[in-house]
Structure 1
Amino acid sequence: MPLDQTLNSLGFAKPPAQTRVVVAMSGGVDSSVVAAQLAEEGYDVVGVTLQLYDHGAALAKKGACCAGRDIHDARRVAEEMGFPHYVLDYENTFREAVMDEFADSYLAGATPVPCIRCNERVKFKDLLETARDLDADCMATGHYIQRKMGAQGAELHCAADAAKDQSYFLFSTTPEQLDYLRFPLGHLKSKEETRALAAKYGLSVADKPDSQDICFVPNGNYAAVIEKLRPGAAEPGDIVDTDGRVLGQHNGVIHYTIGQRRGLGIGGLADPLYVVKLDVAARQVIVGPKDLLATRKVPLREINWLGDGGFLAGGTRQIAVKCRSTKPPTDAILRPISDTEAEIELLVAEEGISPGQACVFYDPDSTRVLGGGWIWRGY
């Protein structure tokens, strides 16, 4: 790079006007601010919104992303800021890559995280390829996470605002994708700063509420969605204790998750009981005392490694991990088994770890995200 060329804010050695960036716009305030900020800085911005499901169908809900009102809001922001905006129909892709697996995982007794699969299989795969087809230099999103340049290339780091950090949902981002992605909001200290920027740019979405829960699950009712996607798949069975004694009946294992205490319908017992296992083949919900939920060994597969060097070459190492999005990282030992499999040993046992959830790796001495994997069997 010539000495007189400095990098622009997206890391390219050319003027913003000569830098094309595709912004993934969900219609919410975060991605709208990213698009508006880059447009104001003079970048060649192209907004793209994915319609992921039929906003008129029963699965959609008010306040969810990527359908209905949100598409309109994204288009309006583009008009306000004067850059082109496109809506791409990804309904079939989203159903096949995300919703079908969500339903099948629940029917198999797991607790999936579809937001991770959506980022992995749709937004950072198909949409990213669309950005390349549009000759964009990079793709920007409104995720709260940071991309920093390290000695060996781009690194993924937690957001400056721990309360908004989305690293758990982005652990499967590959090094190749990370080279192309940009996250302009990751350095902000609070969501209030984002809303202040939206007000500064005069955006119509400045006061729009954040979307909640999974976008295609109305009111958090997972079972209703699964029954719609897989009619008749939920079969009744017994609620049993760890000795096999029948304590009650259920209307399908999809109504239960590991660690659940409320809504079991087996009152009158001296001590509280929790769901400790789901036996899909026997159609049994197995309950027991809380101490049976604690575990220290967590088997993983589909490992995505973002640390320096090879995953296997590094051998056993001490890291920090999250086995749930809502918990802070905790100390653990990482033991690689193959390029795609590993075992985590938690230094302090955790309760309610469930197959289908993600386990995300962190550098214990910095904010860097080292990758992660999927929890794949019960204990």
Structure 2
Amino acid sequence: MPLDSATRPLNSLGFAKPEAETRVLVAMSGGVDSSVVAAQLAEEGYDVVGVTLQLYDHGAALAKKGACCAGRDIHDARRVAESVGFPHYVLDYENAFREAVIEEFADSYLAGATPVPCIRCNERVKFRDLLETARDLDADCMATGHYIRRVMGAQGPELHCAADPVRDQSYFLFSTTREQLDYLRFPLGGLPDKAATRALAAKYGLPVADKPDSQDICFVPEGNYASVIEKLRPGAAEPGEIVHVDGRILGVHDGVIHYTIGQRRGLGIGGLSEPLFVVRLDVDARRVIVGPKEMLSTRIVPVREVNWLGDAPLTARAEWEVLVKVRSTRPPRAAILRPLSDTQAEVELLTPEDGVSPGQACVVYEPGGTRVLGGGWIWRGA
């Protein structure tokens, strides 16, 4: 007698039905991580559909190395699908990507911020537009190759850091909403390290098993932000003055877009008795303000566009004792989170941090655990 959905055990993706009747859309970048996810789910018997997004000019992308979603990556994703034996589609998201990610990146950078476009891409393209495409294809869920864990809690799915802290991508996924989290799956989050992923790729005989990890933002070759901004906003690299916080003019620069908060090298103002750092960018006056390192220390961090994933509402308490990351490469630090509304808050760092910059994310974690409680965008000067 066949089991009904009330008595059938859940499959590995959390559905009370056979794997062959569970359709999962896998977002495939062409890299080893998402390829392993697709191959693993296919081997388990799921109805896998692979989708790769073309996010910017395909012809220009073919000449690039070291970035995701380029022409070579689309080709690699297709090869994986063919070798494993599941359907694969390429969707043209160029216009959506430009409007939702690239334009804001350019405007934010020109305003003196240090944007993180990968977060916006996850939030506005992959986990919004692509997720809707998955629903249109009658997929039961969407799986990605991100290193993060989805854990069922007392009040539904929770977002947790990956088992491997080196690969953890929670900083880039803080804006994932509850509704999105209900639909998303992250099969790699529990793996001990990247070597385990590559071992699986070799096991499945994937053509990308030895492919290097991408390093750059996909539309920023060689990490050269300024050259991209100049193409997007001609005339943006206007020269101006490098000014000490005490008012002294120390030199000239060839565009504020070439500088970031906390920068020390490449200022072109050698011969001074003290090391100086970029402490502020005055875009309107085209001035790069420099000063001693202690001026970079920040204790109070204002955040907005807060996405909250805690069990209780953000405003249920006047203060939350939390851990926060203000940069993806830094470990979480103890802080007090004070809600100002459902979407704005003030974060007090118990130990001041250097180089806190508008445009970066401030991601919130539970103390003593792995749960991601959400986060927001740092929105004015440190």
Question: Within 5 A, what are the aligned runs for 1:341-352?
Answer: 341-352=344-355
1:24 equivalent in alignment to 2:31: no
Q: Which amino acid aligns with 1:239?
A: I
Q: What residue number does 2:71 align with?
A: 68
Does the aligned pair in 2 maintain the 1:59–1:217 contact within 8 Å?
no
Does the aligned pair in 2 maintain the 1:60–1:216 contact within 8 Å?
no
Give how far 1:287 is off.
Answer: 0.1
Q: What residue number does 1:149 align with?
A: 152
Q: Which amino acid aligns with 1:42?
A: G
Q: Which amino acid aligns with 1:9?
A: S
Give how far 1:252 is off.
Answer: 1.0
Does the aligned pair in 2 maintain the 1:63–1:210 contact within 8 Å?
yes
1:216 equivalent in alignment to 2:211: no
Partner Cα separation in structure 1 for residue 196 and residue 213 of structure 2: 14
Q: What residue number does 1:247 align with?
A: 250
Deviation sequence 1:207-260 (CA, Å, 0-9, x none) = 000000211111111000000111112211100001221100011110000000
Give how far 1:340 is off.
Answer: 0.7
**Which secondary structure state, in structure 2, belongs to the residue aligned with residue 57 of structure 1?**
helix
Does the aligned pair in 1 maintain the 2:61–2:71 contact within 8 Å?
no
Pick which of 92-101 and 122-131 moved more: 92-101
Partner Cα separation in structure 2 for residue 47 and residue 57 of structure 1: 24
1:88 equivalent in alignment to 2:91: yes
Q: What residue number does 1:113 align with?
A: 116
Does the aligned pair in 2 maintain the 1:323–1:359 contact within 8 Å?
yes
Match of 1:236 among 239, 252, 258: 239
Q: Which amino acid aligns with 1:288?
A: G
How many correspondences in the alignment? 379
TM-score (structure 1 length as normaliser):
0.98
Partner Cα separation in structure 2 for residue 166 and residue 200 of structure 1: 25
Q: What residue number does 2:169 align with?
A: 166
Match of 1:124 among 119, 127, 132: 127
Does the aligned pair in 2 maintain the 1:60–1:217 contact within 8 Å?
no
Match of 1:200 among 200, 203, 207: 203
Partner Cα separation in structure 1 for residue 20 and residue 5 of structure 2: 19
Partner Cα separation in structure 2 for residue 64 and residue 330 of structure 1: 30
**Which secondary structure state, in structure 1, belongs to the residue aligned with residue 315 of structure 2?**
coil
Q: What are structure 1's unaligned runs of at least 5 residues?
A: none
Q: Which amino acid aligns with 1:242?
A: V
**Which secondary structure state, in structure 1, belongs to the residue aligned with residue 58 of structure 2?**
coil
Distance 1:32 1:340, change over 3 A: same
**Which secondary structure state, in structure 2, belongs to the residue aligned with residue 146 of structure 1?**
strand
Deviation sequence 1:86-133 (CA, Å, 0-9, x none) = 000011111111111111111000000000000000000000000000
Give how far 1:2 is off.
Answer: 5.5
Question: Within 5 A, what are the aligned runs for 1:216-295?
Answer: 216-295=219-298
Q: What residue number does 1:339 align with?
A: 342
Give how far 1:3 is off.
Answer: 5.8
Match of 2:192 among 183, 186, 189: 189
Q: What residue number does 1:313 align with?
A: 316
**Identity score, percent:** 80
**Which secondary structure state, in structure 2, belongs to the residue aligned with residue 123 of structure 1?**
helix
Q: What residue number does 1:371 align with?
A: 374
Does the aligned pair in 2 maintain the 1:65–1:215 contact within 8 Å?
yes
Partner Cα separation in structure 1 for residue 298 and residue 51 of structure 2: 43
Partner Cα separation in structure 2 for residue 65 and residue 126 of structure 1: 18
Partner Cα separation in structure 2 for residue 153 and residue 363 of structure 1: 17
Partner Cα separation in structure 2 for residue 245 and residue 377 of structure 1: 24
Does the aligned pair in 2 maintain the 1:59–1:218 contact within 8 Å?
no
Partner Cα separation in structure 2 for residue 2 and residue 205 of structure 1: 38
Does the aligned pair in 2 maintain the 1:159–1:165 contact within 8 Å?
yes
**Which secondary structure state, in structure 2, belongs to the residue aligned with residue 5 of structure 1?**
coil
Match of 1:177 among 176, 180, 201: 180
Q: Which amino acid aligns with 1:244?
A: G
Partner Cα separation in structure 1 for residue 62 and residue 344 of structure 2: 35
**Which secondary structure state, in structure 1, belongs to the residue aligned with residue 35 of structure 2?**
helix
**Which secondary structure state, in structure 2, belongs to the residue aligned with residue 308 of structure 1?**
coil
